[in-house]
Structure 1
Amino acid sequence: MIGVIGEVPMVRESNVTFKQITFDDLEKGDSFLSAYDAVFIMKEELPVAASPQYAKIYKLAGIPFFFFESSKILPTYIDASISYQDFPDTLSGFFVLGYDGGTGHQFGTGLYNDTNNETNVKSAYSDIFGQIETGL
């Protein structure tokens, strides 16, 4: 099961289960997060996701977190000393940034030919599900 903060994405896979969660849920810690294979944080929620109190959660949780359509770099979310508002936007080319607190592994997935359309977005989600399934 994948926790989603924000709007649940439309994907091609029928075997993936999503459950909407909140930032308050993240603060419940491992006892809550252990029920999930990963957490997706959608674009509209990214400014809140970069709040300093969540950086520690991302780092200590034993599951990966994915930040969708971010105009910021990954440290904006996992380094409590970096302010979302103060950090400039970047054109990273990534559709999603990921961080696995269990391993410290950082990764990103782009869209084919940097083209944002339904087919490419669904392909990116399929890639992410593959990464989750294989343990990143």
Structure 2
Amino acid sequence: MESLYILLGVLVAIILYSTYTYFRQKRILKTLTEEEFKSGYRKAQLIDIREQREFEGGHILGARNIPLSQLKMRMGEIRPDKPVYLYCQNGMRSGRAAQFLHKKGVQDLYQLKGGFKKWTGRVKKK
């Protein structure tokens, strides 16, 4: 019976942490539709945070590839005074990247709703 309480406690902790993370991301990161994203990304830093092989398979025209796994090392490439438009394959990694960037002082953060999977605009392949 004691192990059931421990399992229940762990489950509640996971749910609370997930809820906290979800609402924190909503507060620091604005999710844009494709039309809203298209209208603003040319005046901002457009960053594809997928891994390099995903980027080479196709990416939004004008995007820079800074994979989430390299974001900490390459933080100096991102200007905190300009808006940052992020996207990944489906929106999960861009949320984590936004949390990291926000901690480092970047305030103007946006992500593409649905990620690259939902993108219908121009694409460049290597």
Q: Shorter-chain-normalised TM-score: which range? A: 0.3 to 0.5
The structure whose RCO (Cα within 8 Å, separation 6+) is larger is 2
Q: Flag the structure with larger Rg.
A: 2
TM-score by length of 2: 0.34
